[in-house]
Chains A and B, each alone.
Chain A
Amino acid sequence: MTGQPPSPSKPPKIRIRGLYKSFGSKHVLSGVDLDVAEGTSFVIIGGSGSGKSVLLRCILGLITPDAGTIEIDGKDVLTASWREREAIIGEIGMLFQNGALFDSLTVWENVAFGLLAPEARRHSAAHPRLTRAQAKVRAGEILNQVGLDASVGDLSPSELSGGMQKRVGLARAIADKPAILFFDEPTTGLDPIMGAVIDGLIVDCVKQMGSTAIAITHDMASAQRIGDEAAMLYKGKLVWQGPASSLMHSGNPLVDQFTHGRREGPITMELRR
């Protein structure tokens, strides 16, 4: 995927410095530094338990890090006031690993949740308040955008297949046209064809909206399809960063072992633990 080339004078959309997070004696993040330029699609790879999800949740404010700074558009999320933080989170859409669709709501209500939630919107000319009828129509349009028929909107999430649930999750994430999109393992649990379909939808959505995206995955095909830039998280640190197209021949022994799925290599001891 091709994003807009970052301007050298422009500050990064997301800047992370010295991020630490431990759970008891387990150090999950040990000083993560990361810059994501505006309009870039950034992929973070790493093994299970390497801290990818924790990193994403720290940026979203779902987990409070022990130390470090997270800046979005130059504003430190961690020291921001409640109002500022709400505004920052308002610019972020998230596709969760398992979809995280609300069971008690229909599909269209899930997709339109952010459009209808009274405290979610600062209603303006660009984002007018919608009635439920208008929101249902809008949800149908967004469902079409992710390749689903609007009639799916009346179903319950439990009536959908895994791939359809991911698409609905994607529809919900993009409904409010966020400036930043996060994808947590977008293809996990899907067959390769459906994985490619979801990746294609993600690329299309990010391109159309011009959003900055961060995806975490351990699916190498997905990482290369989605990403402009990539980085590998290992033992709580970013051990490599470069173009996503060079993931399979990075020259970094940790990345090479991971991307080629080799048993032998520097990560062996970790696997035997």
Chain B
Amino acid sequence: MNAVADFIAAIGRAALALIRSAGAIALFALEGLSHAVRPPFYWRVFGTALLDTGFLSLPVVALTALFSGGVIALQSYTGFAQYHAQSAIASIVVLSVTRELGPVLAGLMVAGRVGAAMAAEIGTMRVTDQIDALTTLRTSPMKYLVTPRLLAGIIALPLLVVVADILGVAGGFTVATAKLAFSPTAYITATMNAVKTSDVTVGLVKAAVFGFLIALMGCYHGYTSRGGAEGVGSATTSAVVSASILVLAFDYLLTDLFFAQ
């Protein structure tokens, strides 16, 4: 009987801790966003964050999208050839890339690269008193460290996904025309016929949400890190893991919201 009670109590404690964390993250996000509409705004920090999140993530996102588009074309051909449905490959590639793979792969890549870097940088600032030093210099740490990064995430991810969409389709096109003997004109025509504006825009909306979540997790885990180098290490791991899970969870929710009939 005691064991059952202990088990239930443990579940209850875990649930309460989860709710507490969710509440703390929500308040952190609200405070971070609220500074975006309250001057002053740190344009220099924002510019650096935009460069780090967007431009410097370009190679990894571009390569991932290029190869993923090629793999989808190859895999689709292998399966669809059995049913003489090879003509659907262009549609499959463009819809997969714009609706799902572009935003999700870019999100996961940026979570690994940028989310970790944000958590490590802010976490190190926390454990070396740099965040307290900001306060003593009459600078709000939330306004200086968090708000520019959140906005950079929201803006940079959709831009990266535009590039990912183009390169993903280009990867599929290259494999289809060079390896699977598709006609370039026919492939491009099929692609243009299959894709709708809404496919691309929903992908970009997803990207903006993912960018926000990645920056939020990086900033939150860094900002709340404790206990020296070990604490910073844990914060970095937590930022990447939680951002990756949230990207996939919100991908499902947004897909359900926009595409479910």
Contacts and interface: CB of A to CB of B under 8 A. Distances in A.
Contacts of B40: 118-119
B130 A57 contact: no
A117 B130 contact: no
Contacts of B133: 94, 96, 100-102, 172
A160 interface: no
A103 B139 CA distance: 16
Contact of A92 (B121, B130, B136, B143): B136
Contact of A117 (B121, B132, B139): B139
Contacts, number: 59
A97 B140 CA distance: 21
A197 to B, nearest CB: 22
Given A96-B129, A103-B124, A103-B130, A86 B138 contact: yes
Contacts of B39: 118
Interface residues of B, number: 19
A96 B135 contact: no
Contacts of B139: 113, 117, 119-120
Contacts of A103: 124-125, 130
Contacts of B124: 103
Contacts of A121: 138
Contacts of B138: 86, 89-90, 114, 117, 119-121
Interface in B112-167: 121, 124-125, 128-130, 132-133, 135-140, 143
Interface of A: 57, 60-62, 86, 89-90, 92-94, 96-98, 100-104, 113-114, 117-121, 172
Interface of B: 39-40, 42, 48, 121, 124-125, 128-130, 132-133, 135-140, 143
Given A60-B135, A118-B42, A172-B137, 9 more contacts: A62-B132, A92-B136, A96-B133, A102-B130, A102-B133, A113-B139, A118-B40, A119-B140, A121-B138
